[in-house]
Structure 1
């Protein structure tokens, strides 16, 4: 006999969001072949909505995300080397999954969403860089993600936050570049 609980439902929602992101064509090609299921399991273990909801400041969020990205668990899923992929492809993947979690009202409350959306990092790629350089030609874009360093990543996130502040929006809204 099947039993259903709210926690089981939330776990299923989280797994579905992760599966959707990891198996998307463009994202799937960025990671080592044959590791998709294990990568999804790793993301499920690491990205708990309750952990995100507990964060209370941008600095706390940034530290949490940085520690997550610096975890060597990602090496087994890296298509190239972890040094080349960590701040590029893993940062992009994790930022997209976090956005999927945070924006889902069944996984995070409306109050938690309103608080954390200001801190979410922008998933970086050429579409986003092109979009941001249309807004601000001085935006520090790196057109090739592979090999992105921690310093480059934080420089671009800082520039996105600064630009978002000028427009009075959360930086994650620049993800709208994907529909432009």
Structure 2
């Protein structure tokens, strides 16, 4: 007897989308970095995406397995970058801004290659990865240039990116629940 495995993409997309929206509301300057963002980064952006990635692996979807697992660990590593310096471990010093920018640029490069993997898939999925690529590079450049204005623009791009992932997740859930396409994607 074959066991049907649910589509893990909505879980991963919501974990990514909701966490990305919250972080980028902060990046736009509306709220300080707080436990809300850290908790979402660990519990939903990180853990839920890793679970979605493992489920995608089991379904044989290499792209989704790689994307969700990688971005889940991105969130966990980002939270670790913020929290580790406070633990008093000598090797876990605060990250110099230029090095944080390189961290973001490397994620931008990875995301650009993943964006190529979305070609031929839904337009919304292509938009999520393209806007995420732009977001990572804008954040890196904002740090290198020490530009608060560019950082706020990146935040706006991030809210749009996270919202598009949220939309895609809801569209996929509604399609499965209703048995037909409700929202275009």
Name the TM tier (shorter chain): 0.3 to 0.5
Higher helix share: 2
TM-score w.r.t. structure 1 length? Answer: 0.32
TM-score w.r.t. structure 2 length? Answer: 0.32
Structure having greater relative contact order (Cα 8 Å, sep ≥ 6): 2
